[in-house]
Amino acid sequence: MKFNLLSILFWSCVLQSLNAQVKHYTPRPQDTSAPKKMIIIEHDTLVVSEITLDEVIVFQPLRFKSKSEYREYIILKRKTRKVWPYAVLAADRLEKLNARLEQLDSKRQKRRYTKRIQRYIEGKFTDRLKKLTKTEGQILVKLMHRQTGITTFDLVKELKSGWRAFWYNTTASLFNISLKEEYNPYSVKEDYLIEDILQRSFKDGVLDKHEPAFEVDYLDLVEYWQNKNASLEEAD
């Protein structure tokens, strides 16, 4: 049962591309009247419109109220790092599949190509997904929403009938896994901790960095939760 659930929630996001539309990006025209910056290197002058510097985040030390809270964070970190590559792969395959399907003319060609991707995903990752626990599966659902901007429930719904999506969501609930779960680090503390784990792991080179499908300002997020925790402590 767990095998079927985790398999469908993982590769359903890939198959969803059959009905996806690629949004074309039109670059904004540059303002040629804007003042330029100059860089002088060995008597040669380069005129550039702006100088881009890599963002540097100074992480504050983590503080925990108890040993159990610290232990929960360590467990969450281990599980997050474990499932992160699957969420990244799902988003990457979805993007590449969208681009490839745009080049195919007939529905038959699209179905054949999609089935080939499906076989690849199942053959390469089925055994690994079978070993995920229900909490790891729930974290994966959240991270897939972070990377694709679409809930797993909606991804399944694109492929199956509404009844089938309801069935999978009901089955997932039996394992305390909701396919409708969204990634919301501003309202769910666990999601905030997951984002914190990701950012620290990116900085340490433990995980490959990938931007989310929607904006998540980590520094703003930290400040928000610090203020919220301070308000709760004052209320106590």
Q: What is the DSSP letter of 64?
A: -
Reduced to 3 states (helix: H, G, I; strand: E, B; else coil), residue 94 is: helix
- Tell me if residue 134 falls in helix, strand or coil: helix
Domain boundaries, the chain: 2-18+61-183
What is the rounded CA–CA span in Å between residue 17 and residue 6? 19
DSSP category for residue 48: E
Percent of the chain with pLDDT over 70: 64
CA 183 to chain centroid, in Å, comes to: 8
Please give the average per-residue pLDDT across 167-184, as a whole number: 71
pLDDT band at 33 (very low <50, low <70, confident <90, very high): low
If we measure between CA atoms, which residue out of 168, 220, 169, 227 comes closest to residue 195? Answer: 220
27-36, 48-57, 59-68, 192-201: least confident range: 27-36
* pLDDT tens-digit map of 42-91: 444 445 455 555 566 777 888 888 999 999 999 999 999 999 998 898 78
Note the pTM of the prediction, 2 decimals. 0.72
